[in-house]
Structures are given as C-alpha cells and as structure tokens.
Amino acid sequence: MALQEKEDTFGFLAGSLIGFLSFSKSEGTVAALLVTLLTGPYLLWSKKQDKSLLKKKFISYLLGFTATFLPTILFQVFYSPGNQTFINGFFSIENPSTIARLKMILAFLIVELQSGKWQGIWLLFFIGLILSKGKCFERSIRLIPLFLFGYLFIICFYYYLNTYFKIAWWLQVSLHRILFSLLPVMAFWVFYSLKDKKE
C-alpha cells in the first residue's frame, strides 16, 4: 500500500505501528524485527517506483520504527532482568533438544489448526488461498506469506531450542495465543488475494 503513495509519510506511520508491536512481549518484538527485516528488500527490489523514492520511503519507515521501538531497547538494556526461563537445548546435557521434541511441535501445530475451537476458520483460510489461484503469492502481497512462514518458523524453532519447559505443556498454554494474534494478518492476506484488482 505504501508503494501507491507518492509521499513517504505513510512509511513513517507504518514503521511507527510496527515498532509498537515490540510492546507485546517477546513474540511482538520478533514480529516487529521480522517485518522490518523483510520490508527493506521488499521495497528496494520493487519495480513500481524509482529507487531513490523507495530508499526515501524505507528511511522514513526506519525513523518511525526506531521512534516506537526505542523504549523496548531501553527497557531490555537497563531494566529487564533477562530471560529467567531459558535453557539452550543444543548445548544442555540435562535438557537437550531431541527429535521427539521437534515431532511433538509439528504434530501439535497440525492438531491445533484442526481443533474445533477455531470453528473451521483455518480451513476457510486454506480454501480461500486455493481459490485465489496463486494470487496470494503475487509480488504486491508477497511480504505477508514471507512474514507468516518466517514467524511460525522462528516460534517453532524457539520451542525446539528452549527446553526449560515441558514441550507439551508449553504448546498447550501458548501456541493458541500466537495463532490467534495471526488471525487478522491471515484474514487480510486471504481477502486481498481474492479481491478483484480491476474493481
């Protein structure tokens, strides 16, 4: 959407809102950093506008992002006690990351998406993406699937890496919350993909 604007103020607003994601615990911080990491190449590789204007927009985005992300950085550096519930399973002998743990994460994710408590919303999203006939991966919206797949990969990798908690309990109390936070993004992705661009 920012590519359609001639001014760079929309980029500043987008960056500000993305920076505010970092206020919502570690998951929000990961989401904010991932979106910013993907936005740079996405804007700079776009063919819709000249490179100088796109660079200006990205700089505007970074300024907005930094302004709202800065409190999180200051909190992490000066006030946060650090993560008290972390064990690196790659190096821990007592609690190593195992293949069984990885299988549990992947199996639980599939079971969770099929759970009746979602009232079939994930199935409807999947059908919608199929009906888009590949439009869901067009250049204009490619940033969204890249973010979604990247975000889920990071979250699942963290589940696998951090062996402080029993994985079954951890998945039961946290995965549904993470998936719930992704519902607006999924809804936008599906409906935008199905929208008739000629209208």
pLDDT digits (tens, 9 = 90+) for 98-140: 999 999 999 999 999 999 999 999 999 999 999 999 999 988 8
* Residue 1 pLDDT class (50, 70, 90 cuts): low
**How distant, in Å, are the alpha carbons of 15, 41, 98, 111, 180 from that of 177?**
24, 30, 25, 15, 5
> 10-53, pLDDT tens digit by residue?
888 889 999 999 888 889 999 999 999 998 788 777 666 677 77
What residue spans define the domains of the chain?
1-82, 84-199
